[in-house]
Amino acid sequence: MRKSLIPLALSGLAMTLTPALAGSGRTGILEQLQAEAGQAFSAERGKALFMARHKGGKPKTPSCTTCHSKSPLNAGRTRAGKRIAPMAVSKTSDRYSDPKKVAKWFRRNCRSVLGRECTPLEKGDFITFMMSR
């Protein structure tokens, strides 16, 4: 009986810790970007980046909204048909918490949409916007 309580307690602990850990991962990423950008982030600019139709990227992906849907609160869809969980932190709590994942997708998606890598300022703005939602 007692033994079965241990995993229960551990999983309870894990459940309370996961969002906290996710939060700390996110803070670390933002601090790093902040240091590189040297300027305060703005949710407004993040929103503009997210909503705009860009030139210079690949023709099939003119905007972040092509895949992430028009609202950060809604699920998106890849061009191949797979669901993408909402981008807003309020909807998907573990967003922007794994530095490698964040770096990988910014690299890919900015190249696809803008035809270049995003600047640290753009990345910070984007995450700030998603945290405000």
Nearer to another protein, 55 or 108 (CB): 108
In the range 42-81, which residues lie near ligand HEC by CB under 6 A? 61, 64, 66-68, 78-80
In this structure, are residues 88 and 133 in contact, taking their beta carbons and an 8 Å threshold?
yes
CB of 77 to another protein, least distance (A): 7
As given in the structure block, the two tokens for residue 114 are: 């803008």
In the range 104-133, which residues lie near ligand HEC by CB under 6 A? 105-106, 108-110, 112-113, 126
Binding mask 73-102 for another protein (x = CB under 8 A): ----xxxxxx--------------------
* 2-37 and 120-131 helices, crossing angle to 10°: 130
The residue ranges of DSSP E strands in the chain, in sequence order, are: 76-77, 83-84
Query: How far is 20 from 36, CA to CA, in rounded Å?
Result: 25
What are the residues binding another protein (CB under 8 A)? 58-61, 77-82, 104, 107-109, 111-112
